[in-house]
Chains A and B, each alone.
Chain A
Amino acid sequence: MADKLRAQQQLEQLQTRYVGVGHADTTKQYGSHFFSQLEWLSNVQRDSLAAYIGHPAMLEHFSVALNEPQERVRVQFIDKMIQPCGPPKDKEEI
């Protein structure tokens, strides 16, 4: 019991530092936990986007491929981080 509690506390502490840290309730199943699953997928997207921006070579690659200035690609990526998986949906829709 105490161990469980401690693990929980450690996780919370970790989560305050790293947003992308997940837990067993971050399920992939659609339905009741849809939003937490969305959360994980959003984190995947955001981490990826951050990586594209953070590595100059990657950013250059994208800018050449998309034929856009690097700065614009960067802003695009940043904008995309806001809702990387599209707007949240109601449960009924799924």
Chain B
Amino acid sequence: MAPSRVKEESPELDLKPRARKRRWDVVAPDTIPVKSEEDLESKLEAKLESVEAVPKKRSRWDEVEATPRKSRWDQAPSLEATPTGAAAMGMQTPLHPSVSAGGIPMATGSGLLPDEELDRLLPSEGYIILEPPAGYVPIVTPARKLMQTPAQTGSGSGFMMFDENTAVSAGMAKQIPTNIPGVGELQYFKQEDMKYFGKLADGSRESELSIDELKQRKILRLLLKVKNGTPPMRKTALRQLTDNARQFGAPALFDLILPLLMERTLEDQERHLLVKVIDRILYKLDDMVRPFTHKILVVVEPMLIDEDYYARVEGREIIANLAKAAGLAHMIATMRPDIDHVDEYVRNTTSRAFAVVASALGVPALLPFLKAVCSSKKSWQARHTGVKIIQQVAVLMGCAVLPHLKGLVDCIAPCLTDEQAKVRTVTSLALGALAEAAAPYGIESFDSVLEPLWLGIRRHRGKGLAAFLKCIGFIIPLMDPEYANYYTKEVMVILIREFNSPDEEMKKIVLRVVQQCASTEGVTAQYLRDELLPSFFKSFWVRRMALDRRNYRQVVDTTVELAQKVGVAEIVERIVDVLKDESEAYRKMGVETIEKVVAALGATDISERLEERLIDGILFAFQEQTIEDNILLNGFGTVVNALGLRTKPYLSQIVSTILWRLNNKSATVRQQSADLITRIAVVMNNCGEDVLLGKLGVVLYEYLGEEYPEVLGSILGALRSIVTVVGISEMQPPIRDLLPRLTPILRNRHEKVQENTIDLVGRIADRGAEYVSAREWMRICFELLDMLKAHKKGIRRAANNTFGYIAKAIGPQDVLVTLLNNLRVQERQSRVCTAVAIGIVAETCAPFTVLPALMNEYRVPELNVQNGVLKSLSFLFEYIGEMAKDYVYAVAPLLEDALIDRDQVHRQTAATVVKHIALGCIGLGCEDTMVHMLNLLMPNIFETSPHVIDRIIDGIEAIRNCVGVGIVMNYTWAGLFHSARKVRQPYWRLYDSAYVQSADAMVPYFPQMEEDEYRRNELDVWI
């Protein structure tokens, strides 16, 4: 216990009254400081003493009746159904009940304290305990006494929080019930639930309650089941709530649900469930919900601006359904007053809610209203909100605004020249959002606003200008090339002027707009080169820009975008000197830009002189880095690969850098240099530097003793890439030296190491197995078994493939023995992978080398082994495909046995084997066996376990493909109209899948009906 340690360290705490009474300071009875000599008994005494000596000092919460001090913490949240009071006062912002509620002292009536607690609280001397008078009957009902939780008194007006250290609370904690009468066992029951659902447990008799109260309790019970119940419970409760929604009525339902939804401690899951309830009952209540529209909105609107994405989505969902239920007219009437509300928060949420309504009921329906709001003369707030609604509509609906774009733009166009700066700003933002949503269509809708926009950027300054520029940035990409060119030139003057703006926000917007303009078709490279580049580089390629993450990103992106137009050489020429700058962040910015530009456009543009400077700069940046990250590595790799053969003169210099850094004492440096080898190995090979590669190989080989797994993984990766490019036979060091060093590394558990080793070993097994002795390969086989249960799929796959290669190299017998033995292990994952490996071995070494041993293994009377064999057979037949036809008769008896086994898994796996065999030998004359298998599979279709039944059905379907739909249908007709539904169901499943796959082929096989009107008389026609 952490607090107790603290207390023991501060001896002055001992029994002294504390100045501040906070619950954290309370000396918990268990943790009374004790001198080390004192034994347990004296500690206990001290504990009792302290309780008796300082009863008043303890400001424990359960002692409110002694000192009815009101603190915020003592106040129970109000139980008022909805914050109607708040709403009526004109505060649309829903206040949390705990804030708005008046203080209610908790724990009423000391009669609820158990005797032992009273004994401790009250002095034992000078008092006597009186016998209750003869006729006295306690008022508390037995049920209530049983629960002993004060919050459950009839008033239900408060709840208690207990000091966890007291004995009472230990008892009390147990009394937070998980079993509420009439509800059943819940998943959990929280303290907070007590104030909403406490009523259910107050033990009052049903016969004493009024109809309304009964209804309320019924709803509460259902809600509690939905919120805290197990999934099946939840489902039935939700259905009951939905079905009876109209009987319960909107008031009863929402008075209970809405306060729950406002609960601050509501978990995501609970909120989700409550939202689901509201959704369903809204649908049922339909127009009955109208009187509650406002209350619901007050609760739900704040969800629209929640941080949590899912909360926002759920808020939208409720409002959309509400709008559908209540109707547009009612929604408008309800939200109308909030549009010009004084509080910006309310206007903001209202605008979002309106956008949701618009997307739910269609923009055209709302457009006349929006037009009226946007041209409101009464207040600028209304206009502001109107424009904001349209902005939110664009954000919410995306390209779905296109059909209504003209109407929406015209609606807000006049606001662009509004007298209020705020309205103008939000209008340009809304226009930008509309253009972004509509891209790349809809420029014609913006015709009316082009002029005011471009006039605006000359007139405005500061924030207003930023918004206008942002809007223009989104509109220009929609334009035809020649217009885009003209308008870009118009705006560029302003942009270049704003390059020097000290405002960070403005800078970001300017960069964004430059990027958008540059990517437009109509803007020419010449223009950008002459007008933009000089000032752009002057203002943005400065050290300061590299320091802020967002600026950095923007500058890099914009420069790359510009490079698309003006070419690689132009940009690299300007940036190359940055690579030798003294600021590391700035160098990184340069490297990243060059990497992106070169990756996108290649390096053919780069002249010889520039190439020299580039390599020089990048080497400098690489060597000087203090924090190794991928940016430099990628940059280096990309540049070298892009230059290709032109790198040759610099290779020796690069390699010596790498060698030097491979020797570094920092692990990340070593790792990075090994990674770099992986990147440039191909280029080195192309440049004919195989000798250099050999040298690197030898050095890497010497570093195989590396202790950091990350680095070791990279080294192995580098070796692998060298082997790949130079070939097995040319490899330095020779394979016969390399592989024995790898065998112990296979035991390494690190994922990266495993992945790279297995890849390298697999490659060697595939291409150069003859360089290594069979015994060495067997040793590797044993190590590989462990890899079959690796977490990463890539490793398991590589290990399996390697088994195949090794089996091919040294013959399947030995490998197979290893694998078959591995089928006996306990671990399922391992067995499954072994089964796969056996399948692969069979595939690479022909099935007849494997099948006898495998089938022999099935004789082992052990469940795991037999299932493993079946599983291997399943993989085997999956891999060998058509080759299966030669082995059908051989495996048939085994499958027969498996298909009539008592064990479900036997039958299930055998069904999979049948499936793969059947699919493998379609049209190859194995129909007889397949019909036999069908006879064995058919009785299994009444299996209920989803895994089993799925496999069985799969098997039957595969056989259907093999023997034709007619034969299988003959098995099916009888069950389709069986009198028992349980029988009909699986048969219909068979019928449906057959129908979907081969309806046409079924036509000749439909049964002939006897009744005249159902007969297919055409079939009687003969020539």
Q: Contacts A29-B979, A61-B1023, A65-B1022: A18 and B988 contacting too (C-beta < 8 A)?
A: no
**B985 / chain A contacts, CB cutoff of 8 Å:** 23-24
Contact for B996 among A2, A18, A29, A61, CB less than 8 A = A18
B1021 close to A66 (CB less than 8 A): yes
**Nearest CB of chain B from residue A10's CB, rounded to whole Å:** 10
A24 close to B996 (CB less than 8 A): no
**A77 / chain B contacts, CB cutoff of 8 Å:** 1018
**A65 / chain B contacts, CB cutoff of 8 Å:** 1021-1023
B1002 within 8 A of A: yes
A22 close to B991 (CB less than 8 A): yes
Contact for B1000 among A24, A54, A61, A86, CB less than 8 A = A54
Q: Contacts A22-B991, A41-B1009, A85-B1014: A27 and B1000 contacting too (C-beta < 8 A)?
A: no
A22–B1006 Cα distance when bound, in Å, is 14
B1003 close to A21 (CB less than 8 A): no
B1003 close to A47 (CB less than 8 A): yes
B235 close to A1 (CB less than 8 A): yes
B80 within 8 A of A: no
Known: A21-B992, A22-B976, A77-B1018; 4 extra A-B contacts, CB below 8 A, are A23-B988, A24-B981, A41-B1009, A52-B1018
**A47 / chain B contacts, CB cutoff of 8 Å:** 999-1000, 1002-1003, 1006
Q: Which of B991, B992, B1002, B1006 has the most CB of A within 10 A?
A: B992
B1013 within 8 A of A: yes
**Nearest CB of chain B from residue A90's CB, rounded to whole Å:** 15
A62 close to B988 (CB less than 8 A): no
B1016 within 8 A of A: yes
Contact for B946 among A3, A51, A62, A64, CB less than 8 A = A3
B992 close to A14 (CB less than 8 A): yes
A28–B979 Cα distance when bound, in Å, is 9
**B1022 / chain A contacts, CB cutoff of 8 Å:** 65
The interface bits of chain B over 981-1023 (1 if a CB of A lies within 8 angstroms of the residue's CB, else 0) are 1001100100110011001101100100100011010110111
Residues in A20-57 with C-beta less than 8 Å from chain B: 20-24, 26-29, 37, 40-41, 44-45, 47-49, 51-52, 54
**A24 / chain B contacts, CB cutoff of 8 Å:** 981, 984-985, 988
**Minimal Cβ-Cβ distance residue in A for B1012:** A86
**A49 / chain B contacts, CB cutoff of 8 Å:** 1018
**A18 / chain B contacts, CB cutoff of 8 Å:** 995-996, 999
**Nearest CB of chain A from residue B441's CB, rounded to whole Å:** 32
A11 within 8 A of B: yes
A26–B988 Cα distance when bound, in Å, is 9
**A40 / chain B contacts, CB cutoff of 8 Å:** 976
Contact for A14 among B235, B979, B996, CB less than 8 A = B996
A interface size (C-beta, 8 A): 34
Mark B residues whose CB is within 8 Å of A.
231-232, 235, 946, 976-977, 979, 981, 984-985, 988, 991-992, 995-996, 999-1000, 1002-1003, 1006, 1009, 1013-1014, 1016, 1018-1019, 1021-1023
**Minimal Cβ-Cβ distance residue in B for A80:** B1018
**B1023 / chain A contacts, CB cutoff of 8 Å:** 61, 64-65
**A14 / chain B contacts, CB cutoff of 8 Å:** 992, 996
User: Could you list 20 A-B pairs, sorted by A, with CB under 8 Å?
Assistant: A14-B996, A18-B995, A22-B991, A23-B985, A24-B984, A24-B985, A24-B988, A27-B977, A29-B977, A45-B1016, A47-B1000, A48-B1016, A51-B1000, A54-B1000, A61-B1023, A64-B1023, A65-B1021, A65-B1022, A85-B1014, A86-B1013
Q: Contacts A22-B991, A62-B1021: A27 and B999 contacting too (C-beta < 8 A)?
A: no
Pick the 5 closest A-B CB pairs, nearest first: A28-B977, A24-B984, A51-B1003, A24-B985, A65-B1021
Q: Which of A27, A29, A62 has the most CB of B within 10 A?
A: A27
B1014 close to A41 (CB less than 8 A): yes
**Minimal Cβ-Cβ distance residue in B for A23:** B988
B1003 close to A48 (CB less than 8 A): yes
- Is chain A's interface secondary structure helix, strand, loop, or mixed overall? helix
A37–B1006 Cα distance when bound, in Å, is 14
**B1018 / chain A contacts, CB cutoff of 8 Å:** 48-49, 52, 62, 77
**Minimal Cβ-Cβ distance residue in A for B1002:** A47
Residues in A60-79 with C-beta less than 8 Å from chain B: 61-62, 64-66, 77
A41–B1008 Cα distance when bound, in Å, is 11
Q: Which of A45, A49, A54, A64 has the most CB of B within 10 A?
A: A45
**B235 / chain A contacts, CB cutoff of 8 Å:** 1
**Minimal Cβ-Cβ distance residue in B for A89:** B1013
**Minimal Cβ-Cβ distance residue in B for A64:** B1023
A37–B977 Cα distance when bound, in Å, is 9
Mark A residues whose CB is within 8 Å of B.
1-3, 11, 14, 18, 20-24, 26-29, 37, 40-41, 44-45, 47-49, 51-52, 54, 61-62, 64-66, 77, 85-86
A27 close to B984 (CB less than 8 A): yes
A61–B232 Cα distance when bound, in Å, is 58
A14–B992 Cα distance when bound, in Å, is 9
**A29 / chain B contacts, CB cutoff of 8 Å:** 977, 979
A9–B565 Cα distance when bound, in Å, is 52
**Nearest CB of chain B from residue A15's CB, rounded to whole Å:** 9
**A1 / chain B contacts, CB cutoff of 8 Å:** 231-232, 235
A57–B503 Cα distance when bound, in Å, is 80
**B946 / chain A contacts, CB cutoff of 8 Å:** 3
**B1002 / chain A contacts, CB cutoff of 8 Å:** 47
**Minimal Cβ-Cβ distance residue in A for B981:** A24
**B1009 / chain A contacts, CB cutoff of 8 Å:** 41
A75–B976 Cα distance when bound, in Å, is 32
**A86 / chain B contacts, CB cutoff of 8 Å:** 1013
**Minimal Cβ-Cβ distance residue in A for B1003:** A51
B976 close to A28 (CB less than 8 A): yes
Q: Contacts A1-B235, A61-B1023, A66-B1021: A21 and B1006 contacting too (C-beta < 8 A)?
A: no
**Nearest CB of chain B from residue A68's CB, rounded to whole Å:** 11
A75–B294 Cα distance when bound, in Å, is 60
**A23 / chain B contacts, CB cutoff of 8 Å:** 985, 988, 992
**B991 / chain A contacts, CB cutoff of 8 Å:** 22
**Nearest CB of chain A from residue B987's CB, rounded to whole Å:** 8
**Minimal Cβ-Cβ distance residue in B for A77:** B1018
**Nearest CB of chain A from residue B575's CB, rounded to whole Å:** 55
**Nearest CB of chain A from residue B156's CB, rounded to whole Å:** 35
**A45 / chain B contacts, CB cutoff of 8 Å:** 1014, 1016
A48 close to B988 (CB less than 8 A): no
**Minimal Cβ-Cβ distance residue in A for B982:** A24
**A64 / chain B contacts, CB cutoff of 8 Å:** 1023
**Nearest CB of chain A from residue B480's CB, rounded to whole Å:** 43
A40–B992 Cα distance when bound, in Å, is 12
B984 close to A20 (CB less than 8 A): no
A26–B235 Cα distance when bound, in Å, is 27
B1013 close to A44 (CB less than 8 A): no
A29–B114 Cα distance when bound, in Å, is 69
**Minimal Cβ-Cβ distance residue in A for B996:** A18
**Nearest CB of chain A from residue B423's CB, rounded to whole Å:** 49
**Minimal Cβ-Cβ distance residue in B for A6:** B946
**Minimal Cβ-Cβ distance residue in B for A42:** B1014
A73–B613 Cα distance when bound, in Å, is 83
**B992 / chain A contacts, CB cutoff of 8 Å:** 11, 14, 21-23
A51–B1001 Cα distance when bound, in Å, is 9
**Nearest CB of chain B from residue A5's CB, rounded to whole Å:** 9
